[in-house]
């Protein structure tokens, strides 16, 4: 494995070739928001939160899907990027019914945290108020489409880690929905193993444990790396750490 | 079948055609068939059936597209030693008359009024390279294509050229991708050729989706073997043994003809294993799309070929590095593949001699909208828009004046009357805020409202967004809603500001070309026709009930609960 040298925000940084830009940026202690990225899952590049400016590239690059290269010059925070991140968040908040006050994840929500960190304090676009349903047919979990941001973490964890591939996306554009099997009620799904991984990786209150009330749902994203890397690290008991975004603060 | 067999086959077919006294070529392309072409062909075939003795001197051929589609159904009469006569708007009754005049030799002038003169600018200003055979050969017969010199380029490339030479020939020709972005094709071929893997793929992109554009469909319907030959040459040049043609699901005739063409070519040993008795193997399979515009984007198209959800993935890696199932994949538009055989046959210099310095060769356009002659045209690059609209197109009908031409479909923009003399090539159009695109060209007259046009294209993009990235999925909806307010006359100045900001944001942050270019029609109409938007904007508008209803209405259908 060879080492490459790149410049991140005017400071020299080194990285192993093959690493993603996002990984390297975070290793160097720079906070960069993400919503669809999750350690332990394949990258998707869909939320557009981790966009960075790379010198010489025509377009902004999503750090999660960009490989580091020798001599890369990267800017992670600029007026332009901040503005675009805020606008992307505004679009997400306007898309569905993200009403924090009555959400099970209030106070523990990744979307909420990112919006706070990025300073998105109001939405200038029309709230679309889609008429969406909830699926509470599963005995233990619930799916609330109103809170879903289509990050597809649940789809990926179900396919890549659990191997069940119960969840997938149907429809296209604004009509995209997360579905179980072939758009069946979750409770009647034949393939779901009720492992609950999808609930734990969900960044918002879209997937939740039944029986929790407003602000009671806390998710443990780090359990995924414990599942996938615990054996290597000799960690046999899951101790759990507070979620990433709860400890990191934006470093100016 | 080797090269000399091919030559013999071609010569025999040509001799047979020349010995036929009269050939009635009936256009069998979608536009003519939909305007009653089938009935006309039935009449001719019925006559042929009744008069068996005519068989030696009369042939009825169902050909591909002849060009002036709005004047269909078209019939071309080829008589030995006489110039061709083209009839427009042929009805079954007129077909009888045409038969009487040209075959029976009766003195009837009933069909005179429907003769389309062959020297009008619509024909004389065009230069047919890719469409050279279109409208003259039967696309369902391999022999017809071979009689016109078909598969000779493949034979020559296999026999006389190394893959490297083929690639450098394409580089020298200056051919750029005809799908719209205009990346130099030869460079792409070279990238794939240099990749060292045990498998490579060649893909032809026939998922044409721009509203009003049908160049690729026509090429696949009228001359399918040309596309196959181009793909086979590409396969030889880059070292691939498998090709895929991705045909849009809405093009059943194109898919049927391609399938037949592949079968015939395989039977003759022009495709499949040991092509033309050489060590080169090349199979082509067809993949039919399922009605998604985004599948014209190369990474989404590959996902669809592999049986996955048709969604783009971020590039790099480009398909030339890692494409189908992780192998290097060459993706070109079908029109690009259609240009390959002429380049190999006539040489790179000949091709580079057509067009402008940076955009070589010819381009097919689907001329539509408010012009006298709509249809399919092939023109040399660098021709002015004025020549296309007023000479070839015959100008704007009904006494209206030209307002703008829209190129590039939902990814392109509008070009106003002031820029009519701009040469049509990749770079000039980009400077004007539009793009060459795949070749849709919609002419609009002074009755057209530009905000309406922008709204139409935004609605298209909103419906076709795949939903993977946020800016495109939600941004198109937001822009559409603002445009809905603008056209209803209830938008405020603030809406206009937000709209422009959102456009720039989508261009810079969307994942694939669809989202990045979705604001183009809106931005270009804003650039040239801002006054039309301003006229519809109202400041200090009170919050009336309509405005409130529109602002809070949902564009989303309620989800069916299972």
Residue A252: inside a domain: no
Confidence of residue B304 (pLDDT cuts 50, 70, 90): very high
Average pLDDT for B98-110: 81
Instruction: Tell me: pLDDT of B260 over 50.
Output: yes
Q: Which residue has the higher pLDDT, A246 or A109?
A: A109
A97 part of contact set with chain B, CB < 8 Å: no
Name the residue among A48, A126, A130 with its Cβ closest to that of B551. A126
User: Does A132 lie in the same domain as A52?
Assistant: no
CATH number of the CATH domain containing A63: 3.10.20.740
B549 part of contact set with chain A, CB < 8 Å: no
Q: Which residue has the higher pLDDT, B516 or A237?
A: B516
User: Does A98 lie in the same domain as A191?
Assistant: yes
Name the residue among A59, A65, A91 with its Cβ closest to that of B474. A91
Q: Which residue of chain B has the CA closest to A35?
A: B470
User: Does A202 lie in the same domain as A176?
Assistant: yes
Residue A214: inside a domain: yes
Cβ separation of A129 and B470 shorter than 8 Å? no
Give pLDDT, residue A246.
45
Residues of B within 8 A of A171 (CB-CB) are 467
Tally A–B CB contacts below 8 A.
Answer: 122
Instruction: Tell me: pLDDT of A111 over 80.
Output: yes
Average pLDDT for A86-97: 95
Average pLDDT for B252-276: 94
Give pLDDT, residue B540.
62
User: Does A234 lie in the same domain as A114?
Assistant: yes
Residue A136: inside a domain: yes
B511 part of contact set with chain A, CB < 8 Å: yes
Instruction: Tell me: pLDDT of B225 over 70.
Output: yes
How buried is B259 (Cβ within 10 angstroms: 0-12 exposed, 13-18 middle, 19+ buried)? middle
Name the residue among A45, A174, A184 with its Cβ closest to that of B556. A174
Instruction: Tell me: pLDDT of B557 over 50.
Output: no
User: Does A133 lie in the same domain as A204?
Assistant: yes
Instruction: Tell me: pLDDT of A38 over 80.
Output: yes
Helix (H) or strand (E) holding A7: strand A3-8
CB B490 within 8 A of CB B451: no
Residues of B within 8 A of A60 (CB-CB) are 508-509
Give pLDDT, residue B384.
93
**Structural domains present in chain B:** 20-120 (3.40.30.10), 149-352 (3.40.50.11540), 362-442 (3.10.20.600), 451-552 (1.20.1440.230)
A128 part of contact set with chain B, CB < 8 Å: yes
Give the bridge partners for B26, in sequence order: B62, B75
Provide the greatest CA pair distance for chain A: 54
Residues of B within 8 A of A87 (CB-CB) are 501-502, 505
Q: Are strands A3-8 and A73-75 parallel, antiparallel or unpaired?
A: parallel
Average pLDDT for B476-482: 94
**Nearest CA distance, B554 vs chain A (angstrom):** 6
Q: Which residue of chain A has the CA closest to B505?
A: A84
Name the residue among B478, B508, B558 with its Cβ closest to that of A59. B508
Instruction: Tell me: pLDDT of B546 over 80.
Output: no
Q: List the single best residue of A20, A45, A48, A57 to mutate versus B (max B Cβ within 10 A).
A: A48
Residues B90 and B431: their CA atoms lie apart, in Å, by 43
Which pTM was predicted? 0.91
CB B222 within 8 A of CB B135: yes
Question: Which of A115-124, A136-145, A208-217 is the least confident region?
Answer: A208-217
Cβ separation of B509 and A60 shorter than 8 Å? yes
CB B518 within 8 A of CB B411: yes
Residues 6+ apart with CB under 8 A from B222: B29, B63, B64, B65, B131, B133, B134, B135, B139
CATH number of the CATH domain containing A233: 3.30.70.20
Cβ separation of B466 and A172 shorter than 8 Å? yes
Give pLDDT, residue A244.
47
Instruction: Tell me: pLDDT of B200 over 70.
Output: yes
Confidence of residue B84 (pLDDT cuts 50, 70, 90): confident
pLDDT per residue as tens digits for the range A120-164: 999 999 999 898 999 999 999 999 999 999 999 999 999 999 999
Residues of A within 8 A of B498 (CB-CB) are 124-125
Among A49, A77, A105, the domain boundary falls at A77
Give pLDDT, residue A135.
94
Give the count of domains, chain A. Answer: 2
Cβ separation of A84 and B505 shorter than 8 Å? yes
pLDDT per residue as tens digits for the range B8-61: 999 999 999 888 888 899 999 988 999 999 999 999 888 888 887 777 788 889
B181 part of contact set with chain A, CB < 8 Å: no
Cβ separation of A185 and B465 shorter than 8 Å? no
CB B67 within 8 A of CB B375: yes
User: Does A137 lie in the same domain as A17?
Assistant: no
Residues 6+ apart with CB under 8 A from B483: B451, B454, B455, B458, B499, B522
Q: Which residue of chain B has the CA closest to A83?
A: B505
Would you tell me which residues 312-371 of chain B have a C-beta closer than 8 angstroms to some C-beta of chain A?
313-314, 316
A206 part of contact set with chain B, CB < 8 Å: no
Q: Are strands B440-445 and B362-369 parallel, antiparallel or unpaired?
A: parallel
Residues of B within 8 A of A125 (CB-CB) are 474, 478, 498, 502
Residue A88: inside a domain: yes
CB A208 within 8 A of CB A217: yes
Would you tell me which residues 42-61 of chain A have a C-beta closer than 8 angstroms to some C-beta of chain B?
44-48, 51, 59-60
Residues 6+ apart with CB under 8 A from B370: B396, B397, B400, B443, B444, B445, B448
Give pLDDT, residue B547.
58
pLDDT per residue as tens digits for the range B335-388: 999 999 999 999 999 999 999 999 999 999 999 999 999 999 999 999 999 999
Q: List the single best residue of A88, A173, A178, A203 to mutate versus B (max B Cβ within 10 A).
A: A173
Give pLDDT, residue A240.
65
Cβ separation of A150 and B467 shorter than 8 Å? yes
Residue A50: inside a domain: yes
Among A19, A52, A77, the domain boundary falls at A77
Percent of chain B with pLDDT over 70: 96
Would you tell me which residues 159-188 of chain A have a C-beta closer than 8 angstroms to some C-beta of chain B?
168-169, 171-177, 183-185
User: Does A46 lie in the same domain as A96?
Assistant: no
Instruction: Tell me: pLDDT of A97 over 50.
Output: yes
pLDDT per residue as tens digits for the range B385-439: 999 999 999 999 999 999 999 998 899 999 999 999 999 999 999 898 888 888 8
Q: Which residue of chain A has the CA closest to B550?
A: A126
B307 part of contact set with chain A, CB < 8 Å: no
Residues B449 and B155: their CA atoms lie apart, in Å, by 53
Give pLDDT, residue B180.
81
**Nearest CA distance, A221 vs chain B (angstrom):** 22
Domain hosting residue A123, numbered range: 83-247
Q: Which of B72, B74, B93 minimizes the C-alpha distance to B85?
A: B74
Confidence of residue A247 (pLDDT cuts 50, 70, 90): very low
- Degrees to nearest 5, angle at CA B477 with B475 and B480: 110
The CA–CA distances, whole Å, from B55 to A195, B19, B58, B135 equal 74, 12, 5, 22
User: Does A96 lie in the same domain as A65?
Assistant: no
Give pLDDT, residue A198.
94
User: Does A103 lie in the same domain as A42?
Assistant: no
Q: Which of B511, B526, B378 minimizes the C-alpha distance to B457?
A: B526
User: Does A61 lie in the same domain as A115?
Assistant: no
Q: Which residue of chain A has the CA closest to B485?
A: A126
A78 part of contact set with chain B, CB < 8 Å: no
Confidence of residue A237 (pLDDT cuts 50, 70, 90): confident
**Nearest CA distance, A168 vs chain B (angstrom):** 10
Instruction: Tell me: pLDDT of A69 over 80.
Output: yes
Residue A59: inside a domain: yes
User: Does A68 lie in the same domain as A193?
Assistant: no
Confidence of residue B106 (pLDDT cuts 50, 70, 90): confident
Instruction: Tell me: pLDDT of B559 over 50.
Output: no
Q: List the single best residue of A114, A172, A184 to mutate versus B (max B Cβ within 10 A).
A: A172
A86 part of contact set with chain B, CB < 8 Å: no
Give pLDDT, residue A249.
40
Q: Which residue of chain B has the CA closest to A123?
A: B498
Percent of chain B with pLDDT over 90: 71
Cβ separation of A124 and B498 shorter than 8 Å? yes
Residue A193: inside a domain: yes
User: Does A213 lie in the same domain as A126?
Assistant: yes
Instruction: Tell me: pLDDT of B562 over 70.
Output: no
Residue A95: inside a domain: yes
Cβ separation of A131 and B508 shorter than 8 Å? no
pLDDT per residue as tens digits for the range B118-141: 888 888 889 999 999 998 999 999
Q: What is the 3-state secondary structure (H, E, C) of B431-492?
A: HCCCCCCCCEEEEEECCCCHHHHHHHHHHHHHHHCCCCCHHHHHHHHHHHHHHHHHHHCCEC
Q: List the single best residue of B462, B467, B472, B495 to mutate versus A (max A Cβ within 10 A).
A: B467
Give pLDDT, residue B553.
56
B481 part of contact set with chain A, CB < 8 Å: yes
Name the residue among A48, A94, A176 with its Cβ closest to that of B471. A48
The CA–CA distances, whole Å, from B528 to B159, B418, B488 equal 54, 10, 21
Cβ separation of B478 and A131 shorter than 8 Å? no
A72 part of contact set with chain B, CB < 8 Å: no
A3 part of contact set with chain B, CB < 8 Å: no
**Nearest CA distance, A88 vs chain B (angstrom):** 6
Give pLDDT, residue A211.
87
Cβ separation of A45 and B562 shorter than 8 Å? no
Averaged pLDDT of chain B: 90
B48 part of contact set with chain A, CB < 8 Å: no
Among A77, A112, A137, the domain boundary falls at A77
Residues of B within 8 A of A129 (CB-CB) are 552, 554
């Amino acid at each position: 494995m060879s080492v490459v040298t790149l410049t991140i925000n005017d400071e020299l940084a080194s990285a192993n070739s093959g690493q993603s830009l996002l990984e390297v940026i975070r290793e160097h202690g720079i906070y960069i928001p993400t919503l669809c990225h999750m350690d332990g899952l394949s990258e998707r590049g869909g939320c557009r939160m981790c966009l960075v400016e790379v010198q010489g590239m025509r377009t902004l690059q999503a750090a999660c899907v960009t490989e580091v290269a020798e001599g890369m010059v990267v800017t992670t925070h600029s007026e332009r990027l901040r503005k675009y991140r805020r606008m992307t968040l505004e679009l997400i908040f306007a898309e569905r019914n993200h009403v924090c006050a009555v959400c099970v994840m209030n106070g523990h929500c990744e979307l909420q945290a990112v919006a706070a960190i990025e300073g998105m304090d109001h939405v200038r676009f029309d709230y679309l108020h889609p008429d969406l349903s909830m699926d509470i047919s599963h005995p233990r979990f619930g799916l609330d489409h109103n809170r879903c941001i289509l990050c597809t973490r649940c789809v990926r964890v179900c396919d890549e880690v659990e191997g069940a591939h119960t969840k997938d996306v149907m429809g296209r554009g604004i009509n995209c929905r997360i579905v179980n099997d072939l758009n069946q009620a979750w409770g009647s799904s034949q393939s779901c193993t009720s492992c609950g991984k999808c609930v734990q990786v969900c960044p918002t209150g879209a997937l939740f444990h039944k029986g929790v009330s407003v602000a009671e749902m806390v998710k443990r994203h780090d359990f995924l790396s414990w599942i996938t890397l615990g054996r290597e690290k000799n960690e046999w008991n899951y101790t759990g750490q507070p979620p990433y975004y709860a400890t990191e603060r934006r470093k100016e | 079948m080797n090269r000399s067999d091919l030559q013999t086959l071609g010569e025999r077919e040509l001799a047979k055609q020349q010995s036929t006294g009269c050939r009635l070529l009936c256009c069998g392309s979608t536009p003519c068939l939909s305007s009653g072409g089938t009935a006309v062909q039935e009449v001719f075939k019925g006559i042929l059936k009744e008069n068996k003795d005519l068989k030696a001197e009369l042939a009825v051929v169902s050909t591909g597209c002849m060009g002036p589609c709005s004047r269909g159904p078209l019939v071309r009469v080829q008589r030995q030693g006489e110039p061709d006569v083209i009839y427009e708007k042929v009805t079954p009754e007129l077909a009888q008359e045409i038969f009487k005049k040209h075959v029976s030799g009766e003195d009837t002038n009933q069909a005179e009024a429907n003769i389309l003169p062959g020297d009008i600018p619509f024909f004389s200003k065009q230069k047919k390279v890719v469409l050279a055979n279109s409208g003259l050969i039967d696309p369902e017969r391999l022999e017809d294509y071979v009689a016109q010199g078909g598969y000779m380029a493949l034979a020559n490339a296999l026999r006389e050229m190394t893959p490297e030479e083929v690639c450098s020939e394409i580089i020298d020709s200056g051919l750029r991708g005809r799908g719209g972005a205009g990346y130099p094709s030869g460079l792409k071929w070279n990238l794939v050729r240099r990749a060292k893997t045990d498998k490579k793929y060649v893909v032809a992109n026939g998922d044409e989706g721009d509203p009003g554009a049908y160049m690729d469909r026509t090429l696949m319907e009228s001359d399918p073997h040309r596309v196959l030959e181009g793909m086979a040459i590409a396969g030889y040049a880059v070292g691939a043994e498998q090709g895929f043609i991705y045909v849009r699901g809405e093009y059943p005739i194109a898919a049927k003809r391609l399938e037949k063409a592949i079968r015939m070519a395989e039977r003759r040993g022009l495709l499949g294993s040991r092509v033309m008795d050489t060590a080169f193997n090349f199979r082509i399979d067809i993949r039919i799309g399922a009605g998604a515009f985004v599948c014209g984007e190369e990474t989404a198209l590959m996902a669809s070929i592999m049986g996955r959800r048709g969604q783009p993935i971020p590039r790099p890696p480009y398909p030339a590095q890692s494409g189908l199932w992780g192998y290097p994949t060459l993706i070109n538009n079908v029109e690009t593949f259609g240009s390959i055989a002429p380049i190999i046959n006539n040489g790179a210099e000949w091709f580079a001699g057509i067009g402008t310095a940076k955009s070589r060769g010819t381009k097919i356009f689907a001329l539509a909208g408010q012009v006298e002659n709509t249809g399919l045209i092939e023109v040399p690059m660098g021709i002015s828009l004025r020549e296309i609209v007023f000479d070839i197109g015959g100008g704007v009908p009904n006494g209206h004046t030209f307002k703008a031409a829209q190129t590039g479909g939902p990814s392109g923009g509008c070009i106003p009357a002031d820029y009519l003399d701009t040469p049509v090539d990749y770079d000039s159009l980009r400077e004007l805020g539009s793009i060459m695109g795949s070749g849709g060209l919609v002419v609009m007259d002074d009755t057209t409202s530009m905000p309406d046009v922008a709204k139409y294209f935004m609605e298209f993009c909103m419906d076709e967004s795949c939903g993977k990235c946020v800016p495109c999925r939600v941004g198109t909806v937001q822009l559409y809603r603002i445009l809905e307010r603008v056209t209803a006359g209830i938008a405020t100045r603030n809406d206009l500001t937000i709209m422009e900001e959102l456009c720039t944001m989508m261009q810079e942050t969307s994942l694939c070309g669809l989202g990045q270019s979705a604001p183009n029609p809106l931005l270009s109409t804003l650039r040239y026709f801002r006054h039309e938007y301003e006229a519809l904007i109202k400041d200090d508008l009170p919050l009336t009930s309509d405005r409130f209803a529109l602002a809070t209405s949902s564009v989303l259908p309620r989800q069916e609960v299972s």
